[in-house]
Amino acid sequence: MAKDLAKTATFAMLHFSVGFAVTYAFTGSVQIATGVALVEPAVNTVVFFFHERVWQKLGARRGAFEGGVGRQETAERAMLGCGHAI
């Protein structure tokens, strides 16, 4: 778990740094780059949540996720809103 938290923290810093650098390169503004670097990951997180939900519904509709998961487990995953085994 500690490794997962460390990876998450370093990815967040990397994501912020890239967002800042790209926006600064385009605008030359520290204020705009900081704003975009803070807002974009938050928006992306929300979009990712809905993206996952759509993929889960598509998988449930087809009757299986990767790895040959059966229909019942697929339905349970879709109802719980996660892609992890129950």
What are the pLDDT digits (tens) for 39-81? 998 898 889 999 999 999 998 887 755 555 555 555 555 555 5
Say which residue, 31 or 5, is predicted with more confidence.
31
User: In this structure, is residue 86 part of a structural domain?
Assistant: no
40-43 CB contacts, 8 Å cutoff, 24+ apart = 41/12, 41/15, 41/16
Residue 47 in any domain: the answer is yes
Domain extent, residue 62, equals 2-80
24 domain residue, yes or no = yes
How much is the pTM?
0.56
Please count the structural domains in the chain. Answer: 1
Cβ pair 77, 56 in contact under 8 A: yes
